[in-house]
């Protein structure tokens, strides 16, 4: 990170988790300095639409009407807290291509974002478009960021985006142009293995598995480091890279280790894992990843633990990255097993 920059320790807050008893006030405010509100959606004409109007604006949450106002209220407790509205998401990205391809719609989108940010006291916008997969779409993606930056000038407003580590997406985006427009890239350092891959594996490893590349399944070659190195090779400033940590696990039933076939998969929040899985997890010190083998049912389970998050935070500090973010802040636990706190303490070590 640049020498005068406080390390970012950010969390995504998904509004639907309010129904499970996790309002914004449940976040560990003392160890985060940025919150991304997930998600607000868009229409193809560039206007915005709420994901869940009841959760967003109506339900009684922390003494306010809706999660959005409850989030704004946190700034009374922590005035230097930054909040951004995250637009899109894995299941909310279908409208981006049509909007992005048309200059009038891009202008509408930028104007709609500014109005939303001002109305609900956000500090900026995060674009979670999953994913620009062709060079033409990559050009339109940059055009969207340009329209947003014009409507939301720096430094008053923050503009960030979430992107995967894979070159299948990153190669389509002109990073020299992106670096002038963005305050940071949230590099999604997770989901390297899952139901879409052929074999089991660590889903958020910092470094790729050792061994000759020709003998390693492509999914096992992915890593957080690979994404960071690619962005740096494209002259994107590393201090604008915020590395993502999953606060959830992927399980691979039928597998007992990395690189094995499996019958089925499941995603589980970190705070839903049996405590003994976290306590007895095996840490792969080369890959910087943790796992547990549940012989009774779930098989090989991949997730982060405080030790691996501290190692990732150490990497961030050593490489001069901007910080860490967590998907999600409400999937965490309080106390010594907290991932968000482990990252915060390591990033802010004297």
What tens digit of pLDDT does each residue of 210-225 get? 766 545 677 788 999 9
Give the predicted TM-score (pTM) of the model.
0.97
pLDDT at residue 31 tops 90? yes
Question: Domain tally for the chain?
Answer: 1
256 domain residue, yes or no: no
262 inside domain? no
Closest to 10 (Cα-Cα) out of 328, 336, 337:
328
Residue 130 lies in a domain: yes
Q: Which residue has the higher pLDDT, 158 or 211?
A: 158
| Mean pLDDT for the chain overall | 96
Supply the pLDDT for residue 215.
Answer: 59
- The residue among 197, 183, 193 whose CA lies nearest residue 246 is 193
Q: What mean pLDDT comes out for the span 245-253? A: 98
Whichever domain contains 228, its CATH number is 3.20.20.80
Q: What is the mean pLDDT of residues 74-103?
A: 97
Provide the pLDDT for residue 5. Answer: 83
Q: What is the pLDDT of residues 293-328, one digit of tens each?
A: 999 899 999 999 999 999 999 999 999 999 999 999
For the cut 50, the answer to whether the pLDDT of residue 202 exceeds it is yes
263 domain residue, yes or no: no
pLDDT of residue 209: 79
Residue 229 has pLDDT above 90, yes or no: yes
Kindly state whether residue 64 falls inside one of the protein's structural domains: yes
Domain encompassing residue 194: 8-246+304-347
Collapsing DSSP states into helix, strand and coil, what is residue 224?
helix
- Across residues 281-302, what is the average pLDDT? 96
Q: Using 50, 70 and 90 to split pLDDT, how confident is the model at 1?
A: very low
pLDDT interval class at 38 (50, 70, 90): very high
Q: Is residue 228 part of a domain?
A: yes
Helices (H) and strands (E) in the chain, counts: 12, 16
**Dihedral angle sign, alpha carbons of residues 271, 273, 276, 281:** negative
Provide CB contacts within 8 A for 62, sequence distance 6+: 23, 24, 25, 70, 73
In a domain, 188, yes or no: yes
pLDDT surpasses 80 at 244? yes
Tell me whether residue 161 is in a domain: yes
């Amino acid at each position: 990170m640049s020498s005068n920059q406080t390390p970012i320790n950010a969390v995504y807050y998904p509004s639907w988790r309010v129904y499970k008893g996790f309002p914004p006030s449940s976040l560990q405010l003392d160890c985060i300095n940025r919150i991304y509100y997930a998600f607000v959606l868009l229409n193809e004409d560039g206007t915005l639409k709420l994901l869940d109007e009841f959760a967003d604006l109506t339900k009684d949450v922390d003494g306010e009407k809706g999660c959005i106002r409850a989030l704004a209220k946190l700034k009374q407790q922590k005035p230097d807290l930054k909040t951004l509205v995250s637009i899109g998401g894995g299941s909310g990205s279908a409208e981006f291509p049509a909007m992005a391809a048309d200059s009038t719609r891009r202008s509408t989108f930028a104007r709609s974002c500014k109005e939303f940010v001002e109305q609900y006291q956000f500090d900026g916008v995060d674009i979670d478009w999953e994913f620009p997969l062709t060079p033409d779409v990559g050009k339109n993606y940059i055009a969207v960021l340009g329209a947003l930056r014009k409507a939301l000038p720096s430094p008053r407003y923050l503009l960030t985006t979430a992107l995967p580590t894979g070159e299948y997406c990153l190669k389509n985006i002109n990073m020299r142009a992106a670096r002038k427009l963005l305050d940071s890239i949230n590099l999604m350092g997770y989901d390297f293995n899952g139901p879409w891959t052929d074999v089991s594996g660590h889903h958020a490893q910092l470094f790729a598995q050792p061994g000759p590349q020709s003998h390693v399944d492509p999914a096992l070659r992915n890593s957080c480091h690979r994404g960071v190195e690619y962005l740096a090779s494209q002259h994107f400033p590393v201090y604008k890279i915020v590395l993502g940590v999953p606060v959830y696990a992927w399980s691979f039933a039928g597998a007992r280790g990395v690189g094995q076939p499996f019958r089925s998969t499941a995603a589980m929040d970190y705070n839903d894992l049996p405590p003994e899985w976290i306590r007895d997890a095996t840490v792969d010190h080369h890959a910087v990843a943790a796992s547990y083998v549940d012989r009774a049912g779930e098989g090989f389970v991949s997730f982060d633990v405080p030790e691996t998050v501290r190692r990732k935070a150490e990497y961030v500090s050593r490489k001069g990255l901007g910080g860490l973010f967590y998907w999600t802040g409400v999937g965490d636990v309080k106390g010594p097993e907290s991932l968000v706190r482990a990252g915060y303490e390591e990033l802010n070590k004297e």
